[in-house]
Structure 1
Amino acid sequence: MRIYIALALGLFSSHIFSAQSDFTWHGYVSQGLTQSKDSSFITDDNNVTGELTEIGLNGYYQLAENISIAGQVNYLDGGNRFEQGARLDYLFVDWKLPNLPGRWRGQIHAGRFKNIHWLYSSTRDVPQTRYTSILPQSVYNDGFRDVALGSNGILTSFSNYGKEYTWELNWSYGRSNINDSQREFLLGNEVKGKIRQDFVHQASVFLQPSSMTWKIGAGWLNSDFKYTPSQDEDGLPGTANIERFMLSAQYFAEHWEVSAEIIRDKQNSQGLFSPDFAEKRTGEGGFVQFRYLFNNEISGLIGYDKYINDTSDSDGKELEASTGGLIPAYFGYQDTYTVGLRWDIAPKWRLQGEYHWVEGATRVVSLLNRDVASHSDKHWEMWSIQLMYWF
């Protein structure tokens, strides 16, 4: 990862003062205040902090007529949600395929490419493109942000621009490195070994009319993970497979828009606790958001987000019983109500605020943590206010 960041910085710095028209670069700076109350999702001990910092620099360099390079480095501090520090969000070669038949257009990304299979997966790394600082956690789980944002591998995208409709077909295959913060989110803070993503295989399709008033899509994901314990822990080797199915929809009107996604996750885990340990579960969830534009500068948002960790135990009572009360039932689900307000106070300046009311805590922390109950009450809240500038 350090090598990738050094290469990206070298790419940016070598051209940042260049007057050549084949290189462009942009950036953003965002700072805010945030708090999670009665939960450690963002902050500890109900503290109000400034751990809401995002600084990014991205560039695009045209190597040849159909070949370019794009990349972004990012500094991120989101409290307990992320590992604080710099990271390489993406760095890939973009090859636009020439001479495709009919109305088809295609391109291939090779390197660390961005996830384009979900509604907001390709824009979640840029603060001014998000309607809220904290996206719906049913789909955009912050504990897994860096892995879900992109992968090291190859992505293909084909679009057909017909007279009435546009079709978009996407396919990708790769893997991501998993840092200590993401390992703890997946397996708990007691583990000290190495977790590896063997692969992530994704495909998606989107349909949009020429009027651009709506967009629908469907996606599929399959990924394998492997855990190797360290020599000084009691854990055992383990594997996990995750398969996700998703449906997406958006509708745009002159002064308002609505968006929604629903998901179904199938997880199959083996090992970790005993040689014969095996667990299969199916999780379901989704969100709906409504945004209204009061004028060209001010807009508001309301949203609802829900996730159930196991569809056979939607209220979490079996989870609580099976752990002898160690894990409360409300860690089996999470319901979130959101309101937000955005104000474009000047060109390239934005002030954005939001408030979330939450019942349940299945997205707060890994259910494999031994002290999971200490991480959240049943009912909790979170809020943020963030000032953004981009150039």
Structure 2
Amino acid sequence: MDLLDGNFQVHGFASLTLVNTSDNNFFGQSDDQVSNNFSEVGLNASWRLTPGLQLSAEVLSHRAGGTDDGGVRLDYGLVDWTALSSEEGRGGIRVGRIKTAYGLYNTTRDVPFTRPSIILPQSIYFERTRNLTVSADGADIYVERYGEAGTLSASFAYGQPQTDTDAALVALVGLNRPGHLDSRLAPDLQVMYEGSGGMYRLAVTATRLDLRYKPGLGDRLQAGRFKLTPLILSAQYNAETWSLTSEYAFRRTSVTDFGPFFYNGTADGRSYYLQGTYRLAPQWEALVRYDAYYADNDDRNGKAFAAATRQPGFTRFAKDWSVGLRFDVTPQFMLRVEAHRVDGTGFLAVQDNPDAQALRRYWDNVMLQGSFRF
């Protein structure tokens, strides 16, 4: 909806996804039953006060099994000032709660119509730790340069990640911990090149999270520290009727000072996916994807982790074959169906699967989603 000659815009979306798994739970109690605990409702607005100054915000309700209860919160809210603008490029700064530039999809991941599938590749875009990387409170400086060879853009953000939810705490230290997480300001750098009118997209993303655990009363854990430093390489080719996308992440994780009752150590993780989409007809699109995640590249099968913790080794990796189909019933209403065959449980949330010994290494996942936008 456009108002004030298009300077004020309001848009929204809503989606509901049904999930069924053969084993394990994903987005709620889905093991041999149907879970409807994955839904998204959002309302966003933007107001261009002057040609170089814009206000933007979105409120979001995101329900995702035990990791998110669907409470309404500010997803982003910012002031965007374009300080320099010409035919050759532009540059400016965003201040407020800013979306984190993280791979190709993170800045628009909450809008179902902008995703290539019901869920993004979990090797790169974890749902169980979504709030840590989706947005931050701070500032983002950006520049774009236009030329005959394409568009080169760069952004550098510095902000406070969202650590005030139980989802981030549980994903890192487990259930029923009395302490809480604090974070230092996190830097985020992304450089992207787009050529031939968007036919080619190449990007590099580097970020760093420095999280501190503050023990609570009677806590078995000591004041520990997490350092997470992912580096993501992204590439996409868009033809008239098909697209090919791949991203590869180097993930260095350092866990220190938690004491003898926690798994301390350093790991160099790897994750990647290869994804193809094909437009069968104007309203139909098919998808196939292979997605792989390894928490420790030197212990891919998790045997060393299992020996040290007595937890299943397959919780340290996940290899996911996916196929999907999208049908745009109208420009405002979309249906999707998606099937996954997964080896490993590395991206499952402990909130939905509190007993690691009850997990099964091989499992299937089928999802059906309906989405509406205005």
SS in 2 for 1:153: strand
**Aligned residue in 2 for 1:380:** 363
Matched, 1:335 2:319: yes
**Aligned residue in 1 for 2:337:** 353
Matched, 1:201 2:196: no
Post-superposition Cα deviations, 1:281-335, rounded to whole Å, max 9, x if no partner, equal 1110111110000111001000000011111111111112222xx2112112110
Deviation at residue 20 of structure 1 after TM alignment: 6.4
- 1:49-60 matches, within 5 Å, as 49-60=35-46
SS in 1 for 2:50: coil
CA 1:377–1:219 in 2, change beyond 3 Å: closer, same or farther?
A: same
Between the aligned partners of 1:150 and 1:123, the Cα distance in structure 2 is 11
CA 1:278–1:184 in 2, change beyond 3 Å: closer, same or farther?
A: closer
SS in 2 for 1:234: coil
Counterpart amino acid of residue 209 in structure 1 = G
Deviation at residue 40 of structure 1 after TM alignment: 2.1
Deviation at residue 136 of structure 1 after TM alignment: 0.7
Matched, 1:121 2:106: yes
Matched, 1:245 2:269: no
Matched, 1:160 2:145: yes
Deviation at residue 35 of structure 1 after TM alignment: 2.3
**Aligned residue in 1 for 2:154:** 169
Q: Is the 8 A contact 1:117 1:170 kept in 2?
A: no
CA 1:265–1:210 in 2, change beyond 3 Å: closer, same or farther?
A: same
**Aligned residue in 2 for 1:144:** 129
Q: Is the 8 A contact 1:166 1:210 kept in 2?
A: no
Deviation at residue 81 of structure 1 after TM alignment: 4.4
Between the aligned partners of 2:90 and 2:4, the Cα distance in structure 1 is 30
Deviation at residue 17 of structure 1 after TM alignment: 11
- 1:231-380 matches, within 5 Å, as 231-274=217-260, 278-323=264-309, 326-365=310-349, 371-374=355-358, 376-380=359-363
Counterpart amino acid of residue 198 in structure 1 = R
Correspondent of 1:186 among 163, 172, 177: 172
TM-score of the aligned structures, taking structure 2 as reference length: 0.93
Between the aligned partners of 1:338 and 1:47, the Cα distance in structure 2 is 20
SS in 2 for 1:122: helix
**Aligned residue in 2 for 1:7:** none
CA 1:17–1:329 in 2, change beyond 3 Å: closer, same or farther?
A: closer
Between the aligned partners of 1:99 and 1:346, the Cα distance in structure 2 is 37
Matched, 1:80 2:63: no
Deviation at residue 210 of structure 1 after TM alignment: 3.2
**Aligned residue in 2 for 1:389:** 372
Count of paired positions: 371
Between the aligned partners of 2:170 and 2:335, the Cα distance in structure 1 is 33
CA 1:383–1:261 in 2, change beyond 3 Å: closer, same or farther?
A: same
SS in 1 for 2:37: coil
Between the aligned partners of 1:99 and 1:134, the Cα distance in structure 2 is 36
Correspondent of 1:107 among 92, 104, 109: 92
Between the aligned partners of 2:6 and 2:204, the Cα distance in structure 1 is 38
Q: Is the 8 A contact 1:41 1:80 kept in 2?
A: no
Post-superposition Cα deviations, 1:55-85, rounded to whole Å, max 9, x if no partner, equal 1100001223311110000111122343432
Counterpart amino acid of residue 200 in structure 2 = W
**Aligned residue in 1 for 2:26:** 41
**Aligned residue in 1 for 2:76:** 90
Between the aligned partners of 1:295 and 1:271, the Cα distance in structure 2 is 56
SS in 2 for 1:381: strand
CA 1:340–1:81 in 2, change beyond 3 Å: closer, same or farther?
A: farther
Q: Is the 8 A contact 1:82 1:145 kept in 2?
A: no
Counterpart amino acid of residue 111 in structure 1 = G
Deviation at residue 239 of structure 1 after TM alignment: 1.0
**Aligned residue in 1 for 2:211:** 225
CA 1:112–1:198 in 2, change beyond 3 Å: closer, same or farther?
A: same
CA 1:117–1:32 in 2, change beyond 3 Å: closer, same or farther?
A: closer
TM-score of the aligned structures, taking structure 1 as reference length: 0.89
Deviation at residue 19 of structure 1 after TM alignment: 5.1
> Cα RMSD (Å) of the superposition?
2.2
Between the aligned partners of 2:331 and 2:209, the Cα distance in structure 1 is 42
**Aligned residue in 2 for 1:13:** none
Post-superposition Cα deviations, 1:134-156, rounded to whole Å, max 9, x if no partner, equal 11111000011122111100111
Between the aligned partners of 1:91 and 1:361, the Cα distance in structure 2 is 34
SS in 1 for 2:125: coil
CA 1:359–1:278 in 2, change beyond 3 Å: closer, same or farther?
A: closer
Between the aligned partners of 2:13 and 2:286, the Cα distance in structure 1 is 22
Deviation at residue 219 of structure 1 after TM alignment: 1.3
Stretches of structure 1 that go unaligned for 5 or more consecutive residues are 1-15
SS in 2 for 1:186: helix
Between the aligned partners of 2:325 and 2:262, the Cα distance in structure 1 is 51
Stretches of structure 2 that go unaligned for 5 or more consecutive residues are none
Q: Is the 8 A contact 1:264 1:282 kept in 2?
A: yes
CA 1:57–1:277 in 2, change beyond 3 Å: closer, same or farther?
A: closer
Q: Is the 8 A contact 1:315 1:329 kept in 2?
A: yes
